[in-house]
Amino acid sequence: MKLKLNTLVLLILLSFGLYAQVTITGTGTGGWNQPGGLALTSTDGIVWTAENFEIVGDGNMKFSEGGTWETTGGYSASTPAPGFPSGTITINGGSNIVGTLGFWNVTYNLTTKEYAFTPGINPNPVVVVSGGGLGADVQMNTANGVSYAKKSLFFPGGNASFKQTSPTAGQWGGPFPDGPAVVNGTIPVPAGAYNAYFVLPSAIGPAEYIFEPVVVSMIGNFAGSGWNTDLDLETTDNVIFTKSNWAPVVNPTWTDTTLNLKFRDNHDWTFQYGNSSSTNGANYPNLTGTAMNGIAGGGGDIFLPWPAPNAYNVTFDRSTGVWIFEVVQVSSTRNIEPVSFQVAPNPTSDLWNFTFKENPRANTIQIVDILGKVVSTTQIRSTNVLVDASQLPNGVYFAVIGSESVKLVKH
């Protein structure tokens, strides 16, 4: 009898263990992670719920039934955009649910795939970041009512403070960038992008805070990233972020014919920066533009000229969103007279005459514009080669022959 009872208990436990854990993932819950940042609970394995959770960031979310992307889904085509506050999901598909920021209760039916969000209440003290040049107070996020965070804040600069606005009032400050907080104090925050963290005072310690510099990076289809790994930019002031002499190559294991990327903060999609122009794309590569940030959807990919015998000096202004890819020489031979050939006349209005000192190993002369686009290719069949420039627009070009290159001018 005891054996049968133990077996029954084991079967019951196993049946509950077989429930597919339902979570919500997305920047609306802190990031696109698996399992999702918000775990729902259930008493029957069918109806899953959570109470008084906060939708943050850009509000984008999907339900995950098993902690994998294959078991994750967004709202179906039958649900009107933005899929909030209710609808039906499509597993392994569907569009992002875009929730309204604030506190919500949620119910999800594992059988019907139907979900519903209803207003919740904020169970925690409200803490804001105030001042520092911010246009308005910014409410911080918390999971426990003690530790608070707000990432990717850009401060124009000035005296800031942490303020509790409810259920009681309080203000704290101190030196920059961190320290035990001083009641009624302020913090002299220099201009720049920071992640702000704050801990309310308690019986075990005083209020504390830290301003952490934001990491700004590039991610894309270039080798070394593959849309999975970030290439961090450099900064001396947390405002202008740069990367010098970056010579990208499209991931060699892919079949992409274009180079495309985005900027983002903290190696996370919550704050992503892409091109805001509808004309940008594989056919309209841009070397400069103004980014659209992640709160507004992140914009489209930034497309760059590739392949190209050049490198880029990358500049991203975190205060304005302006990005610039400046074409620079990839090697010391650029703009230096090559040792194996000469070209004349340069400038020219019709023909460049290339004269080689000996039979070259290279087979072609490529003429490349300042955007890195190959505009003509001429076969090398002797030590004297004429390249027609008459049909090219006036401007600066580069001749690439094997490992050597030289600046050309058409006028």
Domains of the chain: 2-119 (2.60.40.3620), 126-213 (no CATH), 216-328 (2.60.40.3620), 341-410 (2.60.40.10)
pLDDT digits (tens, 9 = 90+) for 281-300: 666 667 788 887 654 456 78
Angle at 236 between CA 138 and CA 176, to 5 degrees: 45
Instruction: Name the DSSP class of 205.
Output: B
In this predicted structure, what is the pLDDT of residue 31? 83
Question: Do residues 225 and 246 touch, judged by C-beta distance below 8 A?
Answer: no
Please name the residues in contact with 9: beta carbons below 8 A apart, sequence gap of 6 or more: none
The closest of 213, 193, 214, 220 to 314, measured between CA atoms, is: 220
pLDDT digits (tens, 9 = 90+) for 313-364: 899 999 988 888 887 754 433 444 566 788 999 899 999 999 998 888 788 8
Average pLDDT over the chain, rounded to an integer? 86
Average pLDDT estimate for 75-85: 95
Distance CA 129, CA 200 (A): 13
Average pLDDT estimate for 90-118: 96
Residue 245 reports pLDDT greater than 70: yes
Residue type, 85: P
Cis upstream peptide for 125 (omega within 30°): no
Place of tokens 């019951």: 12
In this predicted structure, what is the pLDDT of residue 306? 67
In this predicted structure, what is the pLDDT of residue 370? 62
Confidence bin at 135 (pLDDT 50/70/90): very high
Question: What's the pTM value of the predicted model, to 2 decimals?
Answer: 0.69
Residue 13 reports pLDDT greater than 80: no
Question: Do residues 32 and 2 touch, judged by C-beta distance below 8 A?
Answer: no
Residue 136 reports pLDDT greater than 60: yes
Q: Which two tokens stand for residue 166?
A: 């409810």
In this predicted structure, what is the pLDDT of residue 294? 55
Residue 158 reports pLDDT greater than 60: yes
Distance CA 187, CA 28 (A): 29
Distance CA 232, CA 133 (A): 26
Share of the chain above pLDDT 70, in %: 86
In this predicted structure, what is the pLDDT of residue 323? 87
Distance CA 147, CA 22 (A): 26
In this predicted structure, what is the pLDDT of residue 270? 81
Average pLDDT estimate for 54-71: 92
Residue 69: in which H helix or E strand, if any? Answer: none
Distance CA 153, CA 139 (A): 11
Average pLDDT estimate for 125-143: 95
Distance CA 174, CA 181 (A): 6
